């Protein structure tokens, strides 16, 4: 039986028959999906990073604008308080408020108020008259458009002296603010900040001229002495106020005399109070006159009777005396009317 011979064949590994090359590995559906998701996730993360960067930029810009009071928004009236800053306004209603309301009704509010964010809402910094006008309009009309007011927003945390300066500088351009109101604000701020009134005036009214600050100091002195006796200090003109301060410095008794004059008219209005103060100034500045020789007094006495709608008026005239007796309550007559009647009576007796 023949034996089969075994031949060892040494194949050249580099020689691969045509058509027998190894095909590239194919990815399954799962691998393809994972790859696509990874690419999409990477793209989304890149987009989100860009959005976060833009939001950060806008947020920083918003904070900067807000800090400078350049962001305007609509704020509900019931969210605004006016307790942080002591106002320099008189407690009496502003007589020009009706004109402002009419302007708002006609053309809207052209200048927003300025508020600061606080824990439970907003605190008014500037715009007391505008806020008052909106509140009255909302109370009178009930319209929703007056339930909110345009306001620039001040970020919370601003220094108190900075807020006062903003309010004061705005009010310095007002023509109707009085020296007494400015002095009262400085006194209130001094009391709150623990500094002297003079220092408070220098700090708050740095934008005002030196002469104007001097006037404010004089009115602060006037209010320190007579503030509790004045009902309408905002009605005192500059000249009258300065004259009062000068007399207070020259005469220690003058303050008591002014108080007596004011307290004699407890129901006085602003016009009467100013008239009383001017009379006090005139009396205090009057130079002593030489005593006149006494006029010889006569012993003559005249009595006349006049028929009046109120009844019969009996008039008795004698040396240095004139009396009227009539069934009428003269004490109920307004003091200025009595003064005018007495003045007219005496003027008619002049030669």
pLDDT at 335 over 60: yes
pLDDT for 215: 92
Per-residue 3-state assignment (H helix, E strand, C coil) for 140-208: HHCCHHHCEEEEEEECCCCCHHHHHHHHHHHHCCCCCCCHHHHHHHHHHHHHHHCCCHHHHHHHHCCCC
> Which residue, 217, 230, 225, 289, is CA-closest to 252?
225
Dihedral pair phi/psi, residue 80, rounded to 5°? -105, 125
pLDDT tens digits, residue range 245-295?
999 999 888 999 899 989 889 888 888 999 999 998 888 664 444 555 555
pLDDT for 112: 87
**C-alpha pair distances (Å), 344 with each of 70, 230, 294, 347:** 62, 29, 25, 5
Q: In sequence order, what are the residues at sequence separation of 6 or more whose Cβ sits closer than 8 angstroms to the Cβ of residue 207?
A: 168, 169, 172
pLDDT for 288: 47
pLDDT at 169 over 60: no
Judged by average pLDDT, the poorest of 10-14, 79-83, 131-135, 144-148 is: 10-14
The pLDDT-based confidence of 138 (bands split at 50, 70, 90) is: very high
Judged by average pLDDT, the poorest of 12-21, 45-54, 199-208 is: 12-21
pLDDT for 65: 55
The pLDDT-based confidence of 140 (bands split at 50, 70, 90) is: very high
What is the average pLDDT across 112-120? 84
> Which residue, 158, 103, 157, is CA-closest to 129?
103
More confident of the two residues 293 and 118: 118
Q: What topology is assigned to 178-285 in CATH?
A: Arc Repressor Mutant, subunit A (1.10.10)
pLDDT at 41 over 90: no
pLDDT for 73: 82
Residue 138: how many other CB atoms lie within 10 Å: 18
Beta bridge partners of 305: 314
> Which residue, 226, 220, 221, is CA-closest to 261?
226
- 3-class state of residue 212 by DSSP: helix
What is the average pLDDT across 72-91? 75
pLDDT for 201: 87
CB 316 within 8 A of CB 322: yes
pLDDT for 347: 77
Q: What topology is assigned to 57-159 in CATH?
A: 3.90.1530
pLDDT at 348 over 50: yes
pLDDT at 173 over 80: no
- 3-class state of residue 128 by DSSP: helix
Instruction: Give CA–CA dist 314/327, Å, rounded.
Output: 10
Paired tokens of 314: 């009996």
Place of tokens 């920083």: 60
CB 286 within 8 A of CB 257: no
Most confidently modeled range among 65-79, 108-122, 138-152:
138-152
What is the average pLDDT across 312-338? 82
In the chain, domain spans: 57-159, 178-285
pLDDT at 325 over 70: yes
Judged by average pLDDT, the poorest of 106-115, 175-184, 223-232, 271-280 is: 175-184
């Amino acid at each position: 039986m023949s034996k089969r011979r075994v031949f060892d064949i040494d194949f050249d590994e580099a020689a691969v028959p045509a058509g027998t090359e190894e095909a590239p590995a194919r990815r399954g559906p799962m691998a393809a999906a994972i790859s696509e998701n990874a690419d999409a996730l990477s793209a989304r993360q890149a987009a989100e990073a860009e959005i976060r960067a833009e939001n950060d930029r806008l947020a920083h810009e918003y904070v900067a604008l807000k800090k400078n009071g350049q962001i305007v928004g609509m704020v509900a009236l019931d969210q605004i308080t006016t307790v942080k800053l002591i106002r320099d306004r008189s407690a009496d209603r502003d007589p020009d408020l009706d004109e402002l309301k009419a302007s708002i009704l006609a053309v809207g509010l052209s200048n927003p108020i300025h508020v600061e964010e606080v824990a439970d809402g907003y605190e008014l910094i500037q715009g007391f008259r505008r806020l008052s006008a909106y509140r009255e309009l909302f109370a009178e009309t009930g319209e929703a458009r007056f339930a909110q007011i345009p306001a620039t927003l001040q970020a919370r945390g601003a220094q108190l002296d900075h807020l006062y300066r903003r309010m004061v500088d705005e009010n310095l351009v007002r023509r109707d603010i009085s020296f007494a109101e400015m002095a009262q604000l400085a006194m209130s701020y001094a009391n709150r900040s623990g500094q002297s009134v003079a220092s408070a005036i220098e700090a708050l009214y740095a934008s005002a001229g030196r002469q104007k600050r001097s006037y404010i100091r004089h009115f602060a002195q006037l209010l320190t002495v007579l503030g509790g006796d004045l009902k309408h200090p905002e009605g005192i003109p500059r000249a009258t106020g300065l004259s009062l301060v000068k007399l207070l410095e020259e005469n220690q008794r003058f303050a008591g005399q002014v108080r007596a004059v004011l307290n004699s008219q407890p129901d006085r209005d602003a016009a009467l109070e100013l008239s009383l103060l001017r009379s006090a100034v005139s009396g205090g500045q009057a130079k002593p006159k030489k005593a006149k020789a006494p006029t010889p007094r006569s012993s003559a006495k005249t009595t006349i009777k006049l028929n009046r709608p109120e009844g019969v008026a009996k008039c008795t005239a004698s040396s240095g005396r004139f009396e009227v007796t009539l069934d009428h309550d003269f004490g109920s007559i307004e003091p200025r009317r009595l003064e005018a009647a007495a003045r007219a009576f005496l003027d008619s007796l002049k030669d």
